[in-house]
Structure 1
Amino acid sequence: MSETIDILSFVISVTGVVQAGFLFMVLRNEGASAWHTNRWMGIFLLALSLSFARGVILQLGGTAAALLLEPFLFSAYFALAPAVYLYFREMSGDVPDRPWRHFLPVTAACLVVGVLIAMVFVRYGEELIEGAPLQITFETDFGLSLLANGLLVGLFVFVSIYHIALSRTAHRYARTLKNNGDPESLSRRRWANGVVLCLHVALIAFALSQLLQMASRDMHWSNILINLGFVLVLLRLNFLLASQPFRKGQARSETLPGKAHAGRRQVTDDDQTALICKKLKQVETEGLLLFDPLLTMPKLAVRIGVTPNQLSYTLNNVLGQSFFEYVNSVRVHKAARLLCSEPDRTILDIATEVGFNSKSTFNLAFKRVTGMTPSTYRVHNSSDRKNSCPADGANLQTVVTTGTSAP
C-alpha cells in the first residue's frame, strides 16, 4: 500500500511540473509586451513547480534530501498568492510602486523553516542519515510540532488575506470589463473569473489537506490532496488560456465610432480632450504599452490619468475610433514601418512584436487600415517606394486604398 501511495504521489507531482511548465511557455511566447503582465503569473507557476518538486525529491532523494531543500520548497507557498494578486493589479493597470515587497514574507519563511530544519537535524540527524522514517508529533516532540503547525497556520492566514485582496481586485476588474461590454472585455472577464474560481479550489484543497494531515498524522495523503488540487487548477487554467479569443488576437469592437456615446452627456471639455490626445501621443511615442497584447481600456486610462469613460469619449468623438480601432491602427502603423525597414523578418514575428498573437487577425486588421495584406504591402514598398515608408506617427494615406480606420 505504501508503494502505491508513493507512486501515486510521484505521478501527480510530475504531472503538475509538466502542466506548470507548459502554461509558463504559453505565457512566455505571448511576447515581450505581454510578459510585463504575465511575469507575475510566471512567478506563480515557478512557485507551484517548487511545491510539486517536493514530492519528486522525496521519492528520488529520500527524506534527508527533501528536508535540506525544504526551506526553499516550503517558502515557495508564500509566493503563490502575492504573485496572482500582482497579476490582477497589473491587468487592471493599478500597479503598486514597489511590487517586489510583497515577496518579503518568502524570505522570512525561508529563514524560519531553515531554523526548523536545523533543529530537526540536530535532534534526529542520525536517524535521517540511516534512512529511518521520521515521525514528529506533539507526543514525541512538542516544540518542533508547535513550530511546524504554527508555520502552517501562518501560511493559511497569509494566503487567506491575499486571497481576499486579489478576489476584490479581480471583482473590480471584472466589473469594469463588464461595463465596457465589448466582446474582448467580456472574454477577459471570463478569464479573470476562471482564474479566481481556480484559486478558490486551490485554497479549499489546501485547507482540507491540512485537516487531513492533523486527523491522520500522515503527510502522504495531505500532500497528494493538495498537489492533486493544484494539478486540476493548472488543467483548468490551460483550458481557459486556450479558449480565450483575446489570446489569439485583438477583437474588434462592434460599436460604430461616434455612435457609442451619441446619447450620453459630454464627460470632458475641450481642454480635457486636448490633454488626453496629447497624452495619447506620448504613449504612442513610448510604444511599449500599446503593443501589449493584454492591453485594456482601463489599463490605458490609468496610464494616461483619466477615467475609462473620458478616454472612450475622446476616442469616439474626437478621434472617431473605438478603443480597438485606435490600438490596432497604431500597431498597424508600426508594423508597416517594420515591414519596410526589415524585409527579412517574418510577418508573424512582426505581428507578435506589435501586439498581435494571430497572423490571421493581424492580416485582417492590417488590411482594414491599409487596404492591403501585409505581404502585398511589403512587395508594394520593396522597390520604388521603399523610401516612402511612413515615419513614426505618420499617416498611411499615401498607400491606402480604403482609409485608415474601420467603417
Structure 2
Amino acid sequence: MSIVLLCGVLYGVMRAAMLIFTPANHRANRLLAALIAVLALYTAPYIIGFAGYYDACPWLSFAPYNLSLAVGPLVYLYFSAMGGVPVTGQRRRPFHLLPALLQLLYYSYLFVQPLAFKNNWDTEVHRPYVEPVETLGLMASLVAYAILAWRQYRQSDAMLKEWARNMLVAVGLTVTFWLALTAAEWAWSGLSYFQRFPFYLWLAILISYLGTEGYRHGAVAFPVPAPAAIVPAAPVPGATETGNLAELGARWRATITAERWWRDPELTLATLARRLGTNTTTLSRALNDGLGVSFTETINRMRVEAVIVALSQHHDQPVLDLAMAEGFNSKASFNRAFKLYTGSTPTEYRRQGPLATQVSTSG
C-alpha cells in the first residue's frame, strides 16, 4: 500500500517541480504546484504509516503534514489565475490561505514538543475538540471554494475550457469522496488505516492527474485580465463618427497589444468586446470603419508580428511551436496568415533572414 501511494505521489510531485520552472503562466503554475504539494503532504502520513514508520518512530506524531485548509483556496486561486477575468480584492488573496497558515503553526508547535506531552494533548484536547472543529472547517472550505471555482470558470473567458472542466470534475469528485469519508468516520466512530486506503489511493491518482495535465497545459498562454483602468465603463460618446471610431479603434488596438490578448487561441469578437467593456457592434465598427481592418485581420497580424520577433530570438525552436505560443491553433491557419502578411512562407522567412520581408500594414 505504501509503495502504491508513494509512486502516485512522487510522480505528481515531480510534475509539480517541473511546473515551477515552466517559462509561462508563473502565478497559475505555482499555485497548481502548491496544490499538488499540499495534497502530497496530506497523503504522506499514510505512506509512512502503512510502512510501519509511526510504530518505529512515534516522535513523528503531529508532523506538519496536514495543510488541508489550503486545498480549497488553492483550487480557487488557480482558476482565478487561468480564467482571464480579474477577481475583485486581489490584495486580499493571501488571506484565503490564513487558515492553512494557522494549521501549519499549530502542528509545527506540537511537533517539537516531548512525546509524552503530544500523547496527552492528542487524547485530552486534539481528538475531542480540535479535530472536529478542523474537520467541519475543512468540509465548509472545500464546498465553498469548489462553488467559487465553478463560478470563476463560468464567468471567465478561459482558453483551456476542457482542462478547466476536467479539473472541476476531479475536484468535485474529491470533495464528494472527502465528505463521504468524514460521514463514515463519524457514523462508525473512526475508521482504520486500511478502511481509509481507498480515499488516499484516490488522492494519489488525483495528484498524478493534476501533475500530468497541469504540466501539459502549463506552457499554453492563459488570457491576461484587463486592468480596470484601461476598460472603458461605457462606449465613448460620439463614437459613431468616423474620426472618433478611428481614435477608439487605435486605443483598443493598443490595449490588445499591451495585454497580449492575441495569444489566446480562442479569442473571438464577443470575448474581446467583453474584455474591453463594449459590445460587438461598436468594436466591429471601430476596427472596420475606424482602422479599415477586420477583427480577424487585426489579431492575425499581431500574431504574425509576434512570431517574427520570436523567430529572431529563438533560432532553434520549431516555427510551429512559436506560432502556437502566439495564438494560432493550426498549422494551416498560421501558414496562410504568415504568407498573406509577409509575402513568404515561415520556412522561407527563417532561411532568408529577418530583413527579407516584413509584415504588411496596409488594409
TM superposition score normalised by structure 2? 0.71
Partner of 1:130: none
Partner of 1:257: none
Partner of 2:233: none
Partner of 2:73: 82
Partner of 1:167: 150
The 3 A distance-change label for structure 1 pair 171 and 230 is: farther
Q: How does 1:33-112 map to 2 (within 5 A)?
A: 34-58=25-49, 62-63=53-54, 64=58, 66-69=60-63, 71=64, 73-75=65-67, 77-90=68-81, 91-96=83-88, 97-98=90-91, 99-112=93-106
Distance, in Å, in 2 between the alignment partners of 1:243 and 1:344 is 23
Distance, in Å, in 2 between the alignment partners of 1:114 and 1:237 is 27
Deviation at 1:201, TM superposition (A): 0.1
Q: How does 1:91-240 map to 2 (within 5 A)?
A: 91-96=83-88, 97-98=90-91, 99-115=93-109, 117=111, 121-124=115-118, 141=124, 144-173=127-156, 188-214=160-186, 215=188, 217-221=190-194, 223-234=196-207
Partner of 1:378: 350
- Partner SS for 2:61: helix
The 3 A distance-change label for structure 1 pair 35 and 249 is: closer
Contact 1:23 1:238 in 2 (8 A): yes
Deviates more, 1:42-51 or 1:353-362: 353-362
Partner of 1:346: 317
In angstroms, what is the RMSD of aligned CA positions?
4.4
Identity %: 19
Partner of 1:21: 14
Distance, in Å, in 2 between the alignment partners of 1:236 and 1:101 is 28
Deviations 1:348-377 (A, max 9, x none): 597179535989478535345434332211
Quick check: 1:397 aligned with 2:350? no
Deviates more, 1:94-103 or 1:314-323: 314-323
Distance, in Å, in 2 between the alignment partners of 1:151 and 1:54 is 17
The 3 A distance-change label for structure 1 pair 283 and 397 is: closer
> What letter matches 1:281 in structure 2?
A
Distance, in Å, in 1 between the alignment partners of 2:71 and 2:268 is 25
Partner of 2:228: none
Deviation at 1:308, TM superposition (A): 6.2
- Name which of 253, 274, 277 aligns with 1:306: 277
The 3 A distance-change label for structure 1 pair 38 and 308 is: farther
Deviations 1:58-110 (A, max 9, x none): 456822464353x2x211x2222212212222313223422333222221221
Quick check: 1:321 aligned with 2:304? no
Partner of 2:304: 332
- Partner SS for 2:131: helix
Distance, in Å, in 1 between the alignment partners of 2:314 and 2:11 is 38
The 3 A distance-change label for structure 1 pair 113 and 249 is: closer
**Larger RCO, structures 1/2 (Cα 8 Å, 6+ apart):** 2
> What letter matches 1:17 in structure 2?
L
Distance, in Å, in 1 between the alignment partners of 2:48 and 2:330 is 42
> What letter matches 2:7 in structure 1?
V
Distance, in Å, in 1 between the alignment partners of 2:323 and 2:33 is 19
Distance, in Å, in 2 between the alignment partners of 1:288 and 1:309 is 19
Distance, in Å, in 2 between the alignment partners of 1:368 and 1:83 is 44
The 3 A distance-change label for structure 1 pair 53 and 295 is: farther
Deviation at 1:207, TM superposition (A): 1.2
The 3 A distance-change label for structure 1 pair 231 and 143 is: closer
The aligned length equals: 336
Deviation at 1:204, TM superposition (A): 0.8
Deviations 1:275-327 (A, max 9, x none): 3531431442x46554467878787657x64146468534566554346x544
Contact 2:35 2:74 in 1 (8 A): yes
The 3 A distance-change label for structure 1 pair 142 and 37 is: closer
Distance, in Å, in 2 between the alignment partners of 1:299 and 1:27 is 29
Structure 1 portions without partners, runs of 5+: 1-7, 127-133, 178-184, 251-267, 391-395
Structure 2 portions without partners, runs of 5+: 223-238
- Partner SS for 2:66: helix
Contact 2:13 2:36 in 1 (8 A): yes
Deviations 1:3-56 (A, max 9, x none): xxxxx2441243133145337747964x42x34444333332232232233333
> What letter matches 2:43 in structure 1?
F
- Partner SS for 1:74: coil
The 3 A distance-change label for structure 1 pair 106 and 57 is: same
> What letter matches 1:211 in structure 2?
A
Contact 1:201 1:229 in 2 (8 A): no
The 3 A distance-change label for structure 1 pair 22 and 115 is: closer
> What letter matches 1:333 in structure 2?
E
> What letter matches 1:280 in structure 2?
R
> What letter matches 1:171 in structure 2?
R
